[in-house]
Amino acid sequence: MPQYTLWISARKDAGTAWFLGGLALVVVLVPILNQVVPPSSPFHLSAYGLTLVGKYLCYALLALSVDLIWGYCGILSLGQAAFFSLGGYAMGMYLMREIGPRGVYGDPVLPDFMVFLNWKSLPWFWQGFNHFWFAILMIALVPGSLALAFGWLAFRSRVTGVYLSIITQALTYALMLAFFRNDMGFGGNNGFTDFKDIMGFDLHSDRVRVVLLVITAIMLGLSYVVCRMIVASRAGRVIRAIRDAESRIRFLGYRVESFKLWVFVFSAVLAGIAGALYVPQIGIINPGEFSPINSIEVVIWVAVGGRGTLYGAAAGAVLVNYAKTYFTSTIPEAWNYALGALFVLVTLFLPRGIIGLVSGRVKKQGKTERPLIQAGGPERSRE
């Protein structure tokens, strides 16, 4: 019986410890700072602050998904925001139906934009979204299925590298164009907004916001642990081998396409979940979320933080978005310059991201899981 389990090995990793610890801190502090600390105090976390933190957490989850597919597997997918948005739209559809007769036009079934378009009945693909469990299912299923179909086609034909990146970018671009159309049934260029409540809880109340934020943090933590487990397993090593020497691993007998597909689909589902958590906190989803620049920005978060580390990706997401929030409120034009410069500087000078900078010297030694038997002598422990 192996002496240790994977999650213990995860605990031995300093980055993971910091990350999970930080999350725990958020989970504890946020409710206090919002609910307990009075609004007059400078420590009070306002509703705006709640939204901001929630947003960062969702982005951190999105960054995790990109790190998994790019940092570990080497697939530069420039379309992860598509999966994020699909999850967001699925949640949005549920929230729209929850509005019910409280919309501007007062129709109990049809959302406002459909009434505006003179539609008489709900399109078939809206059926079922009045049930929360159905929405949850779709949040995982829709991005997952798209990733499955697309990935199967792409990986099977051995499309790799830059070609693959271009095609993923084209995919999200096409989706953006499609969702911008007013007759698609997804709200056109306005998207979905004006949400009222979720499962009966008022979305505008601070309490509910806090709960949503805590749920997001927990999901982030859970996803992190699962990702860490994947990455620490033998499958994780295969995935990293695919990144570094794809044909070699093939000759060892591994079905590379199958591994890539699993990771791609799982990553898409993670992104979808991130999107679904994002929408009720932000209060809006529109087709601009599909635009290619969003996807590329996520890649930069991961690159800045440190790809191939998981916690680095999450940290990068929070850092860059914090900078963005700060810059766009003070000097908006400068943000574009700053973002562009970030891309250039990180790729040129910080290939291992900030984490790389912090952890100092390049590792010469690996950290294999501690072998059951010691090297240097065939001492076998009997089981």
Partner 1 sequence: MSVHDKTLYVEQLTVSFDGFKALNDLTLKIQPGELRCIIGPNGAGKTTMMDVITGKTRPDSGTVRFGPKLNLLALSEPEIAQAGIGRKFQKPTVFERLTVFENLELALAGDKSFLNTLFARRTVAQETRIFEVLEIIGLAQQHQALGGTLAHGQKQWLEIGMLLMQEPELLLVDEPVAGMTLQEIERTAALLQSLAGEHSVVVVEHDMEFVRSIAKRVTVLHEGRVLAEGDMDQVQSDPRVIEVYLGA
Partner 2 sequence: MKQSLLRPGVRWFFLLLLLASRGAGPVYGQSSSDDTFLATLGELRDASFADKDDVVEKSGQSGHRNVQAVLTALLEDRLYFRNDDKKVFLVKTAAGEDSSALDLIDPVTLQGAGSASLDNLTKIGTNNHLRRILQTTLARFRLSSADASVRVQAARDIEQNLDTGNVQLLRERSAVETDSRVKDELAAGLALAALDSSDAQPRLAAISTLRHSLRQDVLNKLQALIEKSPDGSFAESDEHVRLAAAAAVKSISRLHALNSGVETLFFGFSLGSVLVLIAIGLAITFGVMGVINMAHGELMMLGAYTTYVVQVAMPNHKEISILVAIPAAFLVAALTGILIERTIIRFLYGRPLETLLATFGVSLILQQLVRSIFTALNRSVVTPNWMSGTLQLNEALAITYNRLYIIIFTLLVFAALMLILRRTRVGLQIRAVSQNRAMAKAMGIRSEWVDALTFGLGSGIAGVAGVALSQLTNVNPNLGQSYIIDSFMVVVFGGVGSLWGSMVGGMSMGVVNELLEPYAGAVLAKIFVLIALILFIQRRPRGLFPPTGRASENQ
Task: Find which of partner 2, partner 1, none residue 115 binds, CB within 5 to 8 Å per kind.
Answer: none
Query: Interface with partner 2 includes 339 (CB under 8 A)?
Result: yes
Shortest reach from residue 256's CB to partner 2, in Å: 14
Question: Which among 257, 270, 268, 263 has a CA at the least distance from the CA of 145?
Answer: 268
- Give the DSSP letter of residue 248: H
Instruction: Give the one entry of partner 2, partner 1, none that residue 152 binds, where binding means its C-beta sits below a cut-off of 5 to 8 angstroms depending on kind.
Output: none
CA distance 241 to 74: 9
339 binds, among partner 1, partner 2, none (CB under 5 to 8 A by kind): partner 2
Considering only 160-168, 285-293, 319-327, 367-375, which stretch makes contact with partner 1 by CB under 8 A? Answer: 367-375
Q: Which does 170 bind (CB under 5 to 8 A by kind): partner 1, partner 2, none?
A: partner 2
Going residue by residue from 232 to 271, which x/- string records binding to partner 1, judged by CB under 8 A? Answer: -xxx-xx-xx--xx-xxxxxxxxxx-xx--x---------
Q: For the stretch 92-128, what's the b/e string if a residue is b when 16 or more beta carbons lie within 10 angstroms of its beta carbon?
A: bbbbbbbbeeebeeebeebbbbbbeeeeeebeeebee
Binding mask 126-165 for partner 2 (x = CB under 8 A): ------------------------x--xx-xxxx-xxx-x
The reply to whether 182 sits near partner 2 by the rule CB under 8 A is no
Tell me which of partner 2, partner 1, none is bound by residue 116, counting a contact when its beta carbon lies within the kind-specific cut-off of 5 to 8 angstroms.
none
**What are 198's strand-pairing partners?**
201
- Residue 376 sits in the site that holds partner 1 (CB under 8 A): yes
* 20 vs 303, beta carbon nearer partner 2: 303
Q: Which uninterrupted H or E stretch holds 217?
A: helix 206-232
Look at residues 190, 205, 210 and name the one whose alpha carbon lies nearest to residue 284.
Answer: 190
* Burial class (CB within 10 angstroms; exposed 0-12, middle 13-18, buried 19+) of 80: buried
Single-letter code of the amino acid located at 151:
G
The answer to whether 304 and 88 have CB atoms below 8 angstroms apart is no
Nearest residue to 90 (alpha-carbon basis) of 55, 140, 56: 140
Question: Mind giving me the DSSP string for 230-241?
Answer: HHHSHHHHHHHH
- For residue 245, state whether it binds partner 2 (rule: CB under 8 A): no
Would you tell me which residues interact with partner 1 (CB under 8 A)? 2, 230, 233-235, 237-238, 240-241, 244-245, 247-256, 258-259, 262, 363-369, 371-373, 375-376, 378, 380-381, 383
Would you tell me which residues interact with partner 2 (CB under 8 A)? 76, 150, 153-154, 156-159, 161-163, 165-167, 169-171, 173-174, 177-178, 180-181, 292, 296, 299-300, 303, 333, 336-337, 339-344, 346-348, 351
